[in-house]
Chains A and B, each alone.
Chain A
Amino acid sequence: MKPVSFTINGMAVSAEVEPRTHLADFLREERDLTGTHLGCEHGVCGACTILVDGAPVRSCLTYAVACSGAEVTTIEGLDNDEVTAELREAFKREHALQCGYCTPGMLISARDLVLRAPDADERAIRVAMSGNLCRCTGYVGIIRAIKSVISARRARAIAPVAMNGGALGPAGSRHSGSETVSELMAGRATATPVSAKAQRPAMDRDWRPQVSFEQSFVVHYPRQQVWDFFGQVRDVAACLPGASLVEEPTDNHAEGKIRVKIGPITAEFRGEADIERDEKTYSGKIIGAGSDVRSSSSTRGMINYSLRPTDGGRATEVAITVGYTLTGMLAQFGRSGIVQDVASRLTAAFAQNLEARLGGKALEDLPVSGEGLNAGSLLFALIRDRFKALLKRLFGTR
């Protein structure tokens, strides 16, 4: 717990809070100020918008502990505010609310706009209000209400509030920090690893992945040799950075996990997969499912691969089709492109490792290994070279 003091709607408040408590929870749970609504809790919907030091902020993305010394104003604190009163009237008149869930956030964002932008036209109002979502009135009434308040104030020649004074930095942070830094406390919360029961992949033939993409690469070994290697599940898994098997695999079934790191996010998917191979066509299929307990996300995926001889039989082209569906928090956060980028890096790393293994390199000497794929600049060197080659082709020397 950490001590925090600030004012809420003009009243001084001191409390002990868990650092993870965001302002919206603090206001609602500790102060019964339930006019602040929580919608998405990740900064998209705007329902929780309040004022901190006079500026609108997302109270779901602002920790109470970070606002020591700040002035916090919620919708309850704007009862006697002149602009808010005008907006309330206009919202009522223009049918700018129905269920009212978004209204506190709408009013606070609208008040800020009215004060700062006396010249805003309809388009500017729409842009400015785009961070507040309403699911019932359809915005027309809301925009009309705000427009009418802006016009009325313009008619009364009320000047905008200047926003170019004041200290720099995030709203609410402009006051004091801790005088001294306490020694890193013992007993800090550590995430207890929860043992994940691997999920049984449902081998549903009708399942269609949400996202799919194709990739191919060439290894400089004959097809039969690559094909045989692909039959050894343990060796194949070892070529995938961050992957490991939890049980001895059979020819058509494997249980394992893979750890992937994307910036500050680390996900470890545990699961199992069924493997099919067709000797006649040199192709195979891996169908699996797994979940990451930490982020409560799960995935189902299908990989089809086929091997084609190239370079007069001396090399093999490996064509892969990957299809997957990701659900849970990672999916909510992730734009599919980043996931695909990670998958491409994994494929590139796999190709490099495969090449090295086929050439007789020992497991510990594989070019790309480690705790888990760090999605950093793995592919960068490769891309840079291709890019340079292109510039050279286009423009001669460079």
Chain B
Amino acid sequence: MKPVNFAYEKPRHLDDALRLLGNGSQAKVLAGGQSLGPMLNMRLVQPDLIVDITALDALKHCEKQQDFLVLGACITHADIEDGRVPDVTNGAMAAVACGIAYRAVRNRGTIGGSLTNADPSADWISALAALGADAIVRGKDTRTIPVESYVTGALETSLGENELLEAIRVPAHSKKARWGYYKVCRKTGEYAHAIGAVLLDRARNVFRAVIGATERKPLVLADAKPLFQGSDDLRKFDPTAADAMLASIGMDDPLDRKIHTVALARAVQQASA
């Protein structure tokens, strides 16, 4: 259980990091290493070079803007859990953060690392998609893309070889926004078997729903009305519509569909409570 030998660099400037990634070697970016670490230890990933991005101040920066919170990619789950960063989601992000794995993992695991590792069963890829967050990607240029487009499949993102995830931009909720997030785990802290998330923020005209942990990219509804009989009434949740959608993306096992539908139903229940 030891990784292969690799070279290691911990650049202090973003441009240096991009240069290291762009020179054609088998380089892997390391942030907190809580997902990559196991893969390295098991030798499932065998890079020539590890670029540790945790010394890049820009990636540990956090800024509250008018309608957004911009969180650097290297902000940890514990930073969010403990309120060391501002909150614009009425506590939604802290609640998600404190349910990720275990405290010792949250002290090093980062929001950007989790998103970029894009494990279908991890929390942030579903939660951030439900929050309507954007990924801010730095390469030659900076591009800002919705989280649901940033994640392209199981363990896959649209990140190019010469690009880094710099930050995540989360839109601020209005005071009356309703949020629900539920994940099904057999053991506390393990990767989820099913995730449901819903955000209804009438003041901003936002109604989003996500079904995650589907073993592929999460199912994101930027307009959740089809799940609520065409309305924005949380009490009108229609499990059969969710079931049909899951079937349409190829989830053939009825039990699997049921678990995912129930996860969403419980998220809806939280949101309407």
Contacts and interface: CB of A to CB of B under 8 A. Distances in A.
Interface string B207-246: 0000000011100000000100010000000000100110
A360 interface: no
Interface stretch (A181-189, A245-253, A278-286, A310-318): A181-189
B188 A41 contact: no
Interface string B239-266: 0010011001110000000000000000
B37 A170 contact: no
A371 to B, nearest CB: 14
A20 B3 contact: yes
Interface residues of B, number: 89
A186 to B, nearest CB: 10
A178 B12 contact: yes
A386 B246 CA distance: 11
B95 interface: no
A42 B103 contact: no
B52 A60 contact: no
A264 B7 contact: no
Nearest to A50: B104
Contacts of B2: 20, 25
A172 to B, nearest CB: 7
Contact of B10 (A171, A177, A264): A177
Nearest to B241: A394
A164 interface: yes
B45 A264 contact: yes
B11 A181 contact: yes
B7 A61 contact: no
Contact of B156 (A113, A335, A376, A398): A376
Contacts of B142: none
A333 B49 CA distance: 22
A390 interface: yes
A377 B156 contact: yes
Contacts, number: 262
B180 interface: no
Contacts of A127: 188
B160 to A, nearest CB: 13
A63 B10 CA distance: 12
Interface string B13-36: 000100110010100101111101
Interface in A11-54: 18-20, 22, 25, 41-43, 46, 49, 52
B250 A335 contact: no
A131 B8 contact: no
B12 A49 contact: no
Contacts of A225: none
6 contacts: A130-B188, A170-B110, A173-B54, A184-B7, A335-B191, A394-B241
Q: Which 7 residue pairs spanning A and B have beta carbons closest together?
A: A131-B102, A263-B155, A177-B55, A189-B5, A19-B8, A337-B215, A173-B54
